[in-house]
């Protein structure tokens, strides 16, 4: 089977530090073009990775590169809608770095274009592809922990200005909720088996930012009675960055960082998690490696793709409710 011919649009931090180093090493993928508004940056990246062609204009890339089947979109969030729809209209499958869009309407437009043109739209939710995440999910799916009635997840990072556009609302759509909060919500929601959200209550804070929030605390009630809490921050004063996802069931519980799976066995609680010596750095790297391998495999028709645009529309619907709750001080029903 031929290698999947792909192009990368948007050559910022996530593209250069993660996507390109991984994609260029995948034997089943071939990057034939890159594109960035900074044409000097595009030329530099193309030369560095021996990529045949580079562009400043994504529309020109889509017109010229007829044999490209997949577009990896790593541009700022405010460009996701226009690039995604143009790529789908050009009959290309897409992978879009999270979040899919700045709001629910933009996400719906992308999902509708995917259906209209019969092309796959995948959203980069790499934490689902962490090895420990996949093991815990398999235990939950197999009923080993009973019914999951409560989950809590969070990602607390030190403040950074590596990507200043994150702090500009017209580009990002929002602050830490759309950067880290949506990632943890997606991970925990996936672990819980996608229960229907009944109500959302949220508080946001802006201690070190002006246009967007830098901290958030979110509480969700589900229609099946389960609950989920999510916290995310760029500005919590803590010793180190911290990432966690804990799931509690009627017959056991599981957690990521540290990776543990406790199950009731003969009246005793036993840690049944496979031994793991992975560092947080290696788990982070493998999550992207597994995600990009999955995307390339789906482009080659080897398996269905996951993290769909329709799922992202649902997440953005919840995000809209989060922001409304934070603004009004009242819970929001869905």
pLDDT tens column, 9-32: 999 999 999 999 999 999 999 999
Q: How far is CA 198 from the centre of its chain?
A: 23
Q: What is the mean pLDDT of residues 301-310?
A: 94
pLDDT mean over 140-155? 97
Name the average pLDDT for the chain: 95
Q: Percentage of residues in the chain with pLDDT exceeding 90?
A: 89
- pLDDT attached to residue 2: 86
pTM for this one?
Answer: 0.94
Strands 227-233 and 53-55: what pairing? unpaired
Backbone angles phi, psi at 327, to 5 degrees: -75, -40
DSSP 272: -
Q: What is the pLDDT of residues 245-259, one digit of tens each?
A: 999 999 999 999 999
Please state whether 146 falls in left (phi above 0), alpha (psi between -120 and 50) or beta: left
Whether 158 shows a pLDDT value over 90: the answer reads no
Helix and strand tally (H, E) in the chain? 12, 15
- Mean pLDDT confidence for 65-80: 97
Whether 204 and 319 have beta carbons less than 8 Å apart is answered as no
Q: Is pLDDT at 237 greater than 90 in this prediction? A: no
Stronger pLDDT, 331 or 279, i.e. the higher one: 331
- Is the distance from CB of 219 to CB of 201 less than 8 angstroms? yes
Question: Cα-atom radius of gyration of the chain, to the nearest Å?
Answer: 20
d(CA 93, CA 229): 34
Give the whole-angstrom CA distance, residue 119 versus residue 299: 10
pLDDT single digits (tens) 209-228: 999 999 999 999 999 999 99
Is a pLDDT exceeding 70 seen at residue 317? yes
Q: What CATH homologous superfamily does 4-127+290-307 map to?
A: NAD(P)-binding Rossmann-like Domain (3.40.50.720)
Residue 1 pLDDT greater than 80, yes or no: no
What would the pLDDT profile of 176-194 be if each residue is shown by its tens digit?
999 999 999 999 999 999 9
State the distance between the two ends of the chain, measured CA to CA, in whole angstroms.
Answer: 45
**Order of strands, edge to edge, in the sheet holding 332-333?**
268-271, 260-265, 252-256, 242-249, 148-156, 227-233, 215-222, 197-205, 332-333
Is 269's pLDDT higher than 80? Answer: yes
Sequence spans of domains, the chain? 4-127+290-307, 130-280+314-333
Topology (CATH level 3) of domain 130-280+314-333: Dihydrodipicolinate Reductase; domain 2 (3.30.360)
CB burial readout 296-315, b (16+ within 10 A) else e: bbbbbeeeebbbbbebbbbb
What is the model's pLDDT at position 272? 93
Q: Are 231 and 156 in contact (CB under 8 A)?
A: yes
Residue 228 to residue 246: CA distance in whole angstroms: 10
Copy the structure tokens of residue 239: 């010793």
């Amino acid at each position: 089977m031929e290698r999947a011919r792909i192009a990368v649009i948007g050559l910022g931090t996530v593209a250069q530090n993660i996507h390109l180093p991984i994609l260029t090493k995948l034997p089943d993928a071939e990057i034939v073009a890159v594109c960035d508004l900074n044409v000097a940056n595009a030329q530099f990246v193309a030369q560095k990775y021996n990529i045949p062609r580079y562009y400043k204009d994504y529309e020109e890339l889509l017109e010229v590169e007829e044999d490209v089947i997949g577009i990896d979109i790593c541009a700022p969030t405010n460009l996701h809608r226009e690039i995604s729809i143009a790529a789908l209209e050009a009959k290309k499958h897409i992978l879009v770095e999270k979040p899919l869009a700045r709001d629910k309407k933009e996400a719906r437009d992308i999902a509708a274009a995917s259906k209209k043109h019969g092309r796959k739209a995948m959203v980069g939710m790499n934490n689902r592809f962490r090895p420990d995440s996949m093991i815990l999910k398999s235990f939950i799916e197999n009923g080993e922990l009973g019914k999951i009635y409560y989950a809590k997840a969070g990602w607390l990072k030190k403040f950074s200005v590596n990507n200043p556009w994150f702090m500009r609302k017209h580009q990002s759509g929002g602050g830490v909720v759309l950067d880290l909060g949506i990632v943890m919500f997606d991970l925990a929601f996936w672990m819980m088996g996608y229960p229907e959200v009944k109500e959302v209550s949220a508080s946001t804070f802006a201690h070190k930012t002006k246009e967007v929030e830098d901290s958030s605390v979110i509480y969700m009630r589900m229609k099946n009675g389960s609950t989920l809490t999510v916290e995310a921050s760029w500005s919590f004063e803590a010793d180190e960055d911290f990432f966690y996802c804990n799931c509690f069931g009627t017959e056991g519980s599981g957690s990521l960082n540290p990776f543990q799976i406790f199950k009731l066995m003969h009246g005793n609680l036993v840690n049944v998690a496979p031994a793991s010596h992975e560092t947080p750095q290696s788990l982070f790297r493998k999550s992207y490696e597994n995600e990009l391998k999955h995307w390339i495999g789906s482009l080659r028709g080897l398996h269905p793709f996951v993290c769909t645009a329709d799922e992202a529309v649902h997440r953005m619907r919840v995000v809209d409710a989060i922001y409304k709750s934070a603004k009004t001080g009242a819970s929001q029903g869905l």
